Amino acid sequence: MKLNLQLTIAILSIAVITACTEAGHVDKSEANTNLLTGLVIGQQQGKSSVMDSLAEIRGYWKGGFCSAGTCSSFTSNVSIVQDPSGFGIWASGSSYLRIISVDIVGRTFIYQYLPNDTYSPSKYTKVIWTAPTTTGCENSASKCFYYCTVYPNFATLTEAENVNLSNYSSADPTRTGCGGFGWSKALFVSLNPTNW
């Protein structure tokens, strides 16, 4: 028993001395890996609640843009789903982004870019959505909803959570209310996502 205690103290001493000599030395790739690991752990802990909160808009949709009272160009793929590893995902066009948090009362969610993203590494984006409806959906879609991406991308989650949304309104989404433009619109296709 005494030998085990002496070995434990010796190992801890070596670990502390090593840590002290290497303190403050983290290369960029390790920092990116640590950030990604943190995102994975955070997502792992909250993925069920995130996806449950997005129940009304989960699925595969065709996204289009609204302007001057008309919505058209429903050519982009929009998926709000769980990927095979269980993470909440917002996939739009060629973007594949992890959903970090959801406010179901305010109908907003926040996704984060990966650390190796070319244009917005590790930044956060907030998306507002409206309640899905079964009326007024183009192309004979069985249901649809409007969504608005809040700009700019934010450096921290706190900035994205606390952004002032008073200039955003879904009162006339086919014309205005999304940063001076019309909102985007999603037409329901299926509950299944695009290929992963």
- Which one, of 164, 87, 170, 188, lies nearest residue 129 by Cα? 170
**0.95 cut: is pTM over it?**
no
Does residue 124 have a pLDDT over 70?
Answer: yes
Cβ neighbours around 194 below 10 Å, total: 13
**Using CA atoms, how far apart are residues 123 and 34, in angstroms rounded to an integer?**
16
SS3 of 150-178: the string is: EEEEECCHHHHHCCCCCCCCCCCCCCCCE
Angle at 97 between CA 62 and CA 66, to 5 degrees: 35
Residue 44: band (very low, low, confident or very high) from pLDDT cuts 50, 70, 90 = very low
Each residue of 83-96: pLDDT tens digit? 766 678 888 877 88
Each residue of 134-191: pLDDT tens digit? 999 999 999 999 999 998 899 999 999 999 999 999 999 999 999 999 999 999 999 8
Tokens found for residue 63? 């996204």
**Using CA atoms, how far apart are residues 149 and 113, in angstroms rounded to an integer?**
14
Task: Give 24-52 as a DSSP string.
Answer: T---HHHHHHHHHHHHHHHHHHHHHHHHH
Instruction: Please give the residue that has the higher pLDDT: either 40 or 79.
Output: 79
Among residues of the chain, what percentage have pLDDT more than 90? 50
The DSSP H or E segment spanning 190 is: strand 184-190
Task: Give 85-101 as a DSSP string.
Answer: TS-EEEEETTEEEEEEE
**Using CA atoms, how far apart are residues 26 and 153, in angstroms rounded to an integer?**
26
Q: What are phi and psi of 188, to 5 degrees?
A: -65, 135
Task: Give residue 86's pLDDT.
Answer: 67
